[in-house]
Amino acid sequence: MSRVGFGDDDRVHVAFLLVCLVSAVVAFTWLARRIDVPGPLVLIAVGIAASYLPFVPHIRLEPEVVLVGILPPLLYAAAVQTSLVDFNANRRPILLLSVGLVAFTTVGVGAVVHALLPGLGWSASFALGAVVAPPDAVAATAISKRIGLPRRVVTILEGESLLNDATALVALRTALAAAVVWQHVALQFLLAAGGGLAVGGLAYLLLGYVRKHLTDPLMDSTLSFITPFLAYVSAEAIHASGVLAVVVAGLLLGHRSPVLQSAQSRIASRTNWRAIAFVLENAVFLLIGLQAQSILTHLTGQGVGVERVLTICGVTLLTVIVLRFVWMFAARYLLVRPGTGTRHEIPDWRYSALLGWAGMRGVVTLAAAFVIPLDVAHRDVLLLAAFTVTAGTLFLQGFSLPWLARRLHVPSPDPSADALARANLMHQASLAGLKRLDELDEGDPHDVNDAIRDRLARRDFAAWERISPREEETPSETYARRRLQMINAERARVLEIRDSGKVTYDVIQDVLAMLDIEESMLEQRTADRAPVRGSSEPVVLEGDCEHLRRPRPPVEPHTLGQCDACLAEGSRWVHLRMCVVCGNVGCCDSSPQRHASRHFEETDHPVMRSAEADEDWRWCYVDQVGG
């Protein structure tokens, strides 16, 4: 940013402006959540209104600040949190969108703008096409996750937005070279892409090696801060794609972080990057709105009438939207991979419609627009067209995307399936840990192994308890609530001792840190239990269990809504399970007597299912897998 309305040397005013900017981001993001409106849309509206206030300084986005200072950390923060496995599984639709659709949009918009402004050369026309071609990652995924779109749609949108900026910037650079020769464009793209891939891979190897030998979370976090800039600048120095280098380095480092980083480093890095991404992502939308007054004030038209300018802007916006839909449905059978079974399944058109309508543009579009040289004819019109596409897609599509998802009845991620998958995965991890414990050739005079087994069992019980949609408090939630109250009392006592000055500060901080870690784990456990819905049919989540796949005739439960064994013994149950072979109803393993498991031990009946209302899942005792 520059030309902020203060003297360039007045750094106090610049610092004050940045503080106001971040404060506004926090305040209006909080307000957006309170009124249940997408934060990006509120921030853009606030920015547009603020740009006309006399006491708000004029802020102009400098391309270098966005492309070098904002874009690399934003891309890196998104890449390290993106699943490389999911990215690879959806590489075909991601590449078709991030490369094919960007090229299609560049050519299509260029042709339309050239027809509307005959005095505009093909080079500038294609430059505008490249500017408005790439959708923005932040807006689409933020709104998509908020309204609960299918995970595959979100994955494709995230993958597309990670790579499409590279394609668009290469196309823009080539278009501004004056001579648009398709062979030259293809060669430039291949060189930029190949160089970006190579630099990103080398950055991963170098930084991964260094990170593996760093055990200090502070040093590791510092290294992660310079990673996106190192990858970007190194690639741009050899005229390769810095965007692609950042994405490759981020994907690989994020995928390998459980091996390369210590647990403390991962926690610190995750927290730091979440804060950085929050500030940058939301500040970007506020900055987009703040460009409105400046762009409109400097619009001269250069001999183009107001009606023609408005027509160009409106048609450009419409063209961008229509071209995305045309590409989505024309390439529908390539964008959504057919089923892996013997019979290919026709892709669901609703997913194509959602992907087509989720093409919101963002700050890269505006920043790239300012790259267009000052001597280009009708440059002010092109800037206004870029702003119109950015603001228009964000408001039009951003506000209507939730409505469209509801109208299409697109299934959201199933909370019950997530809870079942989490419990099943936790159990598989526990089995691996217990197997390793059994392999340890050590004596156990203090019964440590029993304590470990009990702790793992309670961890698994907590995961299975989250599956229940019932409102009453589970044993794990009771434990968490009481333990949190104890931690508050413990922390208060530690602070009293700290204030007395009888214990050194370092010791105080160590104890407080341990209490904080335990408290955060308990709070996360409590927050993870969301209302769940029963699945329409059971799905095997792990392994290949013949017991779960075997068809069985329906059986009636021996009792309804109670565990007879618990009543006979005078104990209480938490949840009820039913044997699918004989219909015996027993209490779950979170219950004191664990009668369902005892029934399996006595009868060898392998599968039981939940006997709770609104739950439809099963468990195989033989293969230790849920479905």
How do residues 318-327 score in pLDDT, each as one tens digit? 999 999 999 9
Say which DSSP state 625 is in.
E
pLDDT of residue 4: 45
Predicted confidence (pLDDT) at residue 25 exceeds the cutoff of 60: yes
Question: Where along the chain do its domains lie?
Answer: 11-413, 416-527, 546-626
User: Taking the mean position of all CA atoms in its chain, how far away is CA 543?
Assistant: 27
Q: Which residues contact 63 (CB under 8 A, 6 or more apart)?
A: 367, 368, 370, 371
What the block records as the tokens of 114 is: 């050239």
pLDDT of residue 542: 44
Predicted confidence (pLDDT) at residue 532 exceeds the cutoff of 70: no
How do residues 39-51 score in pLDDT, each as one tens digit? 778 888 898 898 8
| Report for 102-111, 431-440, 473-482, 617-626: range of highest mean pLDDT | 102-111
**DSSP string of 308-321?**
HHHHHHHHHHHHHH
Answer whether 562's CB lies under 8 Å from 516's CB. Answer: no
Q: Under CATH, which number does the domain 11-413 receive?
A: 1.20.1530.20
Within 585-626, where are the H helices? 595-603
User: For residues 38 and 136, what is the distance between their CA atoms, to the nearest angstrom?
Assistant: 15
How do residues 537-557 score in pLDDT, each as one tens digit? 444 444 567 788 777 787 888
Residue 344's pLDDT band (cuts 50, 70, 90): very low
Burial letters 48-76, b for 16+ CB under 10 A, else e: bebbeeeebbebbbeeebbbbebbbbbbb
pLDDT of residue 245: 93
User: For residues 3 and 66, what is the distance between their CA atoms, to the nearest angstrom?
Assistant: 15
Long-range contacts (CB closer than 8 Å, 24 or more residues apart) made by 597-605? 597/621, 598/565, 603/579, 605/579, 605/580, 605/581
The CB density around residue 301, as the number of other CB atoms within 10 Å, is: 13
What's the fold here for domain 546-626? Herpes Virus-1 (3.30.40)
The CB density around residue 297, as the number of other CB atoms within 10 Å, is: 12
Q: Which residues contact 275 (CB under 8 A, 6 or more apart)?
A: none
The CB density around residue 321, as the number of other CB atoms within 10 Å, is: 18
Residue 500's pLDDT band (cuts 50, 70, 90): confident
Answer whether 317's CB lies under 8 Å from 393's CB. Answer: yes
| Side-chain half-sphere CA neighbours of 254 within 13 A | 23
Average pLDDT, the chain: 80
Answer whether 40's CB lies under 8 Å from 142's CB. Answer: yes
How do residues 144-186 score in pLDDT, each as one tens digit? 666 667 778 888 888 888 888 888 888 888 777 655 555 566 6
Measuring CA to CA, which residue among 248, 285, 263, 287 is closest to residue 40?
285
Per the model's pLDDT, the better-predicted residue between 13 and 299 turns out to be 13
Mean pLDDT for the stretch of residues 348-368: 83
Long-range contacts (CB closer than 8 Å, 24 or more residues apart) made by 121-125? 121/377, 122/180, 123/175, 123/176, 123/177, 123/178, 123/179, 123/180, 124/175, 124/372, 124/376, 124/377, 124/378, 124/382
